[in-house]
Structure formats: C-alpha cells, structure tokens
Amino acid sequence: MARETWATRMGFILAAVGSAVGLGNIWRFPFITGQEGGGAFLLVYLLFVALIGFPAILVEFVIGRYTNLNPVGAIRELGSGAWNYLGWLFVVIGFVILSYYSVVAGWFLRYTLIGATDGYAVAGPEEATALFGTVSTGLDSLLFHAVFMAIVIGIIAAGVRKGIEVGVKVMVPAIIALLLGLAAYAFTLDASGAAYSYYLSPDFSYLVANWTSILPAAAGQAFFTLSLGMGVMITYASYLGEDRNLASDAGVIVVLDTLIAVIVGFVVFPFLFAAGIDPSTTTVNAIFVSLTSAFASIPGGRILGIVFFAMVGIAALSSAISILEVLVSYMIDEVGVGRVPAAASIGAAVFLLGVPVTIDLIFLDLYDLLADGVLLVLGSLLLALFVGWVVPDLGREELRKGIAGGGGLDAAWIWIVRIPIVIVVVVSLYLGVVDYVDFLTGDFADWLAAR
C-alpha cells in the first residue's frame, strides 16, 4: 500500500514537537527537577539536550528518511546480523512507555473533570493526597486509562495527514498559549521569587556530591522529552521528502521542546512554593497534590486548575499518538495490516499492559525506571553505534541532503555521534541500570514480600 507523507513542513515539526512536548515535559520534568536539586539538575539537563539530544535526534532522522520505513524495517534494511533485531527494541519500548503513559494521562483527564464538576475543594496537602489516591488507582484510573487510549486510537486510525497532522496543528499551539498564560499568572504569586531562585540557581556543591544520581536522571529526561531511543523520530522522519533540511528541522524541534520544558518550571515551582511544599520531596503525585492544594486556595483557582489539567491532557495526547504510530507503522509496513485494525488491536494490547499501573503505583515505578533509565538510553546508545560506526557514510550523505553546501556539518556530527555521545550514554546507562537494580532489590522486593 502507498506510504503516507506529511502535507507540510509545519505539520512535521508540530508533530515532532507534539511528541516531545507531553508528560515528559509537564508531569515528569518538575518532579525529577525537584528530586535532583532544582537548578543543578536544570543545568545538566540543558547541557544534555544541547550536546547529546540535538546530534541524537539527527541519528533517528537520517535513518527514517533514508529508508522510509518503520524502525524495525529501517534497521533491518540497513544492517545485518544481530543489528536486525535492534528495531524490535523500539517496539518493546513503545509498548512499555505508552502503557503507563496512558494511565497517567487519564489522571489529568479525571482532574479536569473534577474541576469542572466539583472544583478543587481540598483543605490542604493531606486531602489533596487522599484525592490523588482515589484518582490514581482503582476503577477511576482504569476507566480514564481506557478513555485516553480510545482517543489515541481514533486519531491514529484517521491517518498521518487527516489524523496526526490535523490534530497537532491544533494541540501544540494550544499547549504553548495556555502554558504562557499560566506562567504569567505564576509570576504574580508572592512565592515566585523564591521559586525562581531555586529553579535557576544551580548549587554546584550539590551537583558534585550527587552527580551519579543527576547524570542518569538528566540523560533519561532528555531522551524521554525529545522522544529519543523509542523509534518515534525514525517513524516521523520516514514520512519526509528528501528536500528537507534535517539539521534545521531538528534545531527547531529541540529548541521548542526545551523552551516549553523550561517554561513548565516557571509554572509549577511557584505553585509548589505557594503551597508550602518542598520540591525535593515531590514524587509522581507532585503536580496533582501541590497544584490541587494551590488551586483550592488562590483566586480563580478552579478555572486555572481546569485550564492547567486540560492543557497537560492535550500535551499527553500529542505525545501518545506519536508512540502508538511507531507500533502501528510496523504493522502496516511489515505485516500489511490496515491502519484501522492495526491501531485498534495494538491500542488494546497497550491498554492491557497498563492495567497493573491502575491497581498499584509500584508498577508505575517498575515500568518508568526501566523505560527511562535503561531502555531509552540503551536504544539511543545502539542507534549511535549503528549510525556512527556501521553506516557512517550513509548517515553523512543523508544529512547533507537539503543543506546547501553542508559546511562540514556532516563530518563534525558523525564524530560527535561516534565518541562523545557514546561515552556519555554508556556512563548514563550504567548508572541507570544500577538504579533499577537497586529498585528491584529494594522497594519492589519489599512490596512483593508484603503480599
């Protein structure tokens, strides 16, 4: 069957930005930043995005556009031997991430509905925590997990141009507009000065003392928020024409995504400080508990809450469709299944994998620490090795297309991919594996023992 393409450059950029701008930016970024020292983490994260994220996204772009295939087919066409199995890693990563991603996105839909019907009537953090417990597990969580996946399936079933491209042209500008409005409001809060100081002033002594924790957290966050290591950018680039300047498009995507992540900090941390919550103590429930408490106590909080939670739900949707598209494109290209049945069947399988997360949040940690700290980093490492050392000439040639003159960009890029990226990612992967093993032998083992 004929392969679909993007109708416009803007459609591709917004789809890629929409993939990157999701729960990774708005839900995950604030609590990881809080846990890892505020400004110290932000500094390392920004360095990762600039020095590692930008070259790494080009790795996926050149593979996708050259082959015009999904990740499994693309790697199989270019590689041989054991490399043929690399594409399957991205299918596994997509399944794992989307399964719990959908559950968390469902929480935001539920909180939006709570604001519209009952308002955020909580007396303080204790009641807000109790509300989160009700929403995050049980029937509510399962129901909204199903609702969110149904929406994602519907958009993907409509296709690249009529589904994904049309959707992101509405969603991404809406996300940016709402986020800027919330940041402007947060600036007026009395606690904003202290929040900005915490967020923007790195404590270098803290960074030196905690680099083994900060480094893998920053690497995982950079890969997660840029949708790297899971095959999304390979898939999206496979719908591109050869006249596109990949470096230019990648630069726009990375800058927009990072800018939005930074703005999220200007929204969330003033609300955290206004609610009297220490950012270093935040966990996966940070946004829900702290912001619900804040919205219950500030003027116009109900409307602000509805707007905020709805915005995050939209952002989550723009990311989720990109992950499901990776899995659906495999079914279309490799198995010959139509788009609608592929979207429905894979979406149902993802839903089932996410069900344990709706039962106990220990499974959220089990999935997230594996995906973020290990699988995404491993996927990026293997792609860097593949393009940098197995097919470097192909990568350089593909990057030069659409770039007038080139200016030696391709040569500099391939050596960045070959050495600095590989070294940094290997260190990050090692630290991520250590953290995950600690979790399995600690918190998860304790949870199992208590059953």
Nearest to 59 by CA among 234, 219, 239, 254: 234
- C-alpha span between 35 and 192 (Å, rounded): 19
For 126, counting Cβ atoms within 10 Å of its Cβ (0-12 exposed, 13-18 middle, 19+ buried), the class is exposed
- List strand residue ranges (DSSP E) for 312-450, in order: none
- C-alpha span between 154 and 167 (Å, rounded): 11
Phi-psi region of 338 (alpha: psi -120 to 50; beta: other; left: phi over 0): beta
Instruction: Name the DSSP class of 390.
Output: I
Q: Which residues of 251-272 are buried (b: 16+ CB within 10 A; e: fewer)?
A: eebbebbbebbbbbbbbbbbbb
- pLDDT band at 1; cut points 50, 70, 90: very low
- C-alpha span between 133 and 350 (Å, rounded): 23
- C-alpha span between 412 and 396 (Å, rounded): 10
Instruction: Name the DSSP class of 403.
Output: -
In angstroms, what is the C-alpha Rg of the chain? 21
- C-alpha span between 88 and 262 (Å, rounded): 33
* Residue 438 neighbours by CB under 8 Å, 6+ apart: none
Q: Of how many residues is the chain composed?
A: 451
Are 75 and 300 in contact, with CB atoms under 8 Å apart? no
Dump pLDDT digits (tens) for 76-116: 888 888 888 888 888 888 889 999 989 999 998 999 898 88
Per-residue pLDDT for 252 more than 80? yes
* Residue 450 neighbours by CB under 8 Å, 6+ apart: none
Lowest model confidence (mean pLDDT) among 133-137, 163-167, 391-395, 406-410: 163-167
| Helix, strand, coil share (%) of the chain residues, nearest 5 | 80, 0, 20
- C-alpha span between 324 and 109 (Å, rounded): 19
Per-residue pLDDT for 23 more than 90? no
- pLDDT band at 301; cut points 50, 70, 90: confident
Dump pLDDT digits (tens) for 355-402: 999 999 999 999 988 987 889 889 889 999 999 999 999 988 888 886
CA dihedral defined by 225, 230, 232, 235, rounded to 10 degrees?
Answer: 160
Dump pLDDT digits (tens) for 172-225: 777 778 788 888 888 888 888 999 999 999 989 988 888 888 888 888 788 777
